[in-house]
């Protein structure tokens, strides 16, 4: 059953570019608020991983949409950490691979793919109060969200943060290459025809370049509670 997006209002919608740290702060803010957490980026990563795993031609929009529409996906919180399960396989780490990161924007730009994932996102948000993060949360997925935040940071800072995440996973990092990759993803997100990244007119801009993690979380929680 389709969910009316205008009927879903109890949402803290956090949008922003790649590497802004949205997932980390959204999860922590959701815990403090007692809300559910919705990581839409993980959905698009899972869809990309699934397409690669199934050997689907990434230049075939119809085949990709068909695959994503039937993707057996489950995202759950386990001991304070997110688990992404596809076809009963834990792919939590696999979806963060460089290969998936390089290809995710190709799927994210396809209307046929987005329609399936947006429907899942709205169904999740309709279940109760939710902190949701992504690229088009406040503009497309939940346009009537009570609290809208556009979270950003400088390109250099976002590259630094992403490098730390990758190093924590034991991955080798070329910071300059990573910076160029994030810049390219910015351009792709901002210029794509379908649901481009943009700030909702009624969103609060939160530049976290010089902020510590706890400061960002506290500010999001403050904004969310003020909107209740």
Higher pLDDT, 102 or 60: 60
Terminal Cα-to-Cα distance of the chain (whole angstroms)? 28
Model confidence pTM above 0.85: yes
What stretch of H or E contains 98?
Answer: helix 98-108
Look up residue 85 and give its two tokens.
Answer: 């399960």
Residue 170: pLDDT band with limits 50, 70, 90: confident
> Angle 93-99-103 (CA atoms, 0-180°, nearest 5)?
115
What stretch of H or E contains 184?
Answer: helix 175-191
Q: What pLDDT, in 10s, does the model give residues 99-157?
A: 998 899 889 889 999 999 999 999 999 999 999 999 999 999 999 999 999 999 999 99
* Pairing relationship of beta strands 147-152 and 204-207 according to DSSP bridges: parallel
- H helices, E strands: number in the chain: 8, 8
Torsion angles phi and psi, residue 37, rounded to 5: -120, 130
Return d(Cα 125, Cα 145) in angstroms, integer. Answer: 10
What is the residue-averaged pLDDT of the chain? 93
Domains of the chain, start order: 9-209 (3.40.50.300)
Report pLDDT for 123.
93
> Which residue in 180, 184, 48, 34 sits closest to 103, CA to CA?
48
Look up residue 135 and give its two tokens.
Answer: 């690229």
- How is 85-130 classified by DSSP, letter by letter? EETTEE-TTGGGSHHHHHHHHHHHT-HHHHHHHHHHHHHHHTTS-E
> Which residue in 73, 12, 16 sits closest to 189, CA to CA?
16
């Amino acid at each position: 059953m389709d969910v009316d997006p205008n009927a879903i209002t109890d949402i803290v919608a956090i949008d922003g570019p790649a590497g802004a740290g949205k997932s980390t702060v959204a999860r922590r803010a959701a815990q403090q608020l007692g809300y559910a957490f919705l990581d839409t980026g993980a959905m698009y990563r899972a869809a990309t991983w699934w397409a690669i795993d199934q050997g689907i031609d990434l230049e075939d929009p119809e085949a990709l949409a068909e695959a994503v529409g039937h993707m057996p996906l489950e995202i759950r919180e386990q001991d304070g950490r997110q688990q992404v399960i596809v076809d009963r396989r834990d792919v939590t780490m696999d979806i963060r691979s460089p290969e998936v990161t390089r290809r995710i924007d190709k799927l994210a730009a396809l209307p046929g793919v987005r329609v399936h994932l947006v429907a899942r996102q709205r169904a999740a948000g309709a279940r109760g109060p939710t902190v949701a993060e992504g690229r088009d949360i406040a503009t497309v997925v939940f346009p009537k969200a009570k609290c809208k935040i556009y979270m950003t940071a400088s390109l250099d800072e976002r590259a630094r943060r992403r490098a730390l995440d990758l190093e924590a996973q034991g991955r080798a990092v070329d910071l300059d290459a990573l910076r160029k990759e994030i810049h390219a993803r910015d351009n792709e997100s901002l210029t794509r025809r379908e649901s481009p990244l943009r700030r909702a007119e009624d969103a609060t801009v939160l530049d976290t370049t010089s902020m510590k993690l706890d400061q960002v979380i506290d500010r999001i929680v403050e904004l969310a509670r003020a909107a209740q």
